[in-house]
Amino acid sequence: MAWRSELLVLALALAPRAAPAQTPGVIAGKVAIAKVTVGSRVDDFSSVIVYLEDAPETKLATDKQYEIVQRDKTFVPSFLIVPKGATVAFPNRDKLAHNVFSPASGASFDLGIYKQDTTKTVTFDKPGLVPIFCNIHPQMIAHVLVVANGFHARPNADGAFRLEGVPPGKYHAVAWFPFGTSERAEVTVEAGKAAELRFTLRERKGAAEHRNKVDKPYTRY
């Protein structure tokens, strides 16, 4: 039976081997903000987020409880990051009725009008940025960033950010804040190396203006 052992050794030698995993890379950079000259609403980098649009999906826990509370005619918090497939609760803690809706393409919803101490929920199944409004009170604005991986970061006090453990490849990075237009850049990540990015976000007057759920201007409530 020696010939069988020799065949087994030969087969193992000729069998295709899995390619070694490539060392992940890093995306590091800095965000600058160009403010309007008068009446700027930007105090720091706390409202800025940098994320990869098209990085490979990773398994993220979706069983955590998320909520955006309606209180004092505002959404709290006004910005929330959730994994794809997560459910967000929208409890009304005001004495006033509210109507929570989003016009986001492919992720729109309308929870209808509901009163104090009532909660409705939305499950977010599509990655991307989802703006959220109240159809009664135009000053109520929130955003939910739905992610399919962990490659997102908030800049520090100096505007610097860093995304660790990024698989080698070509991606699109986005820098976003609620006071103006987001910036998008293509970035190539090489194994074991750091790619650098620079963003300049420009504050824009009227960035918070929006229309109601039937795409018309708000009237007095």
Q: How far apart are CA 112 and CA 42, in angstroms?
A: 32
CB of 175 closer than 8 Å to CB of 50: yes
pLDDT for residue 116? 97
Query: What are the pLDDT digits (tens) for 145-180?
Result: 999 999 999 999 999 999 999 999 999 999 999 999
For domain 59-148, the question of CATH label 2.60.40.420 is answered with yes
Rounded to two decimals, what is the model's pTM? 0.87
Residue 126 CB neighbour total at 10 angstroms:
13
Query: What are the pLDDT digits (tens) for 68-80?
Result: 999 999 999 999 9
Query: What are the pLDDT digits (tens) for 102-129?
Result: 999 999 999 999 999 999 999 999 999 9
Dihedrals phi, psi of 10, to nearest 5 degrees? -65, -40
Q: How far apart are CA 52 and CA 191, in angstroms?
A: 17
For the chain, which residues make up each domain, given as ranges? 22-58+149-205, 59-148
CATH homologous superfamily for 22-58+149-205? Carboxypeptidase-like, regulatory domain (2.60.40.1120)
Query: What are the pLDDT digits (tens) for 2-28?
Result: 545 554 444 555 555 655 567 999 999
Work out the angle at residue 93's Cα, subtended by the Cα atoms of residues 40 and 140, and round it to the nearest 5 degrees.
30
User: Are 22-58+149-205 and 59-148 the same fold in CATH?
Assistant: yes
Residue 39 has pLDDT above 90, yes or no: no
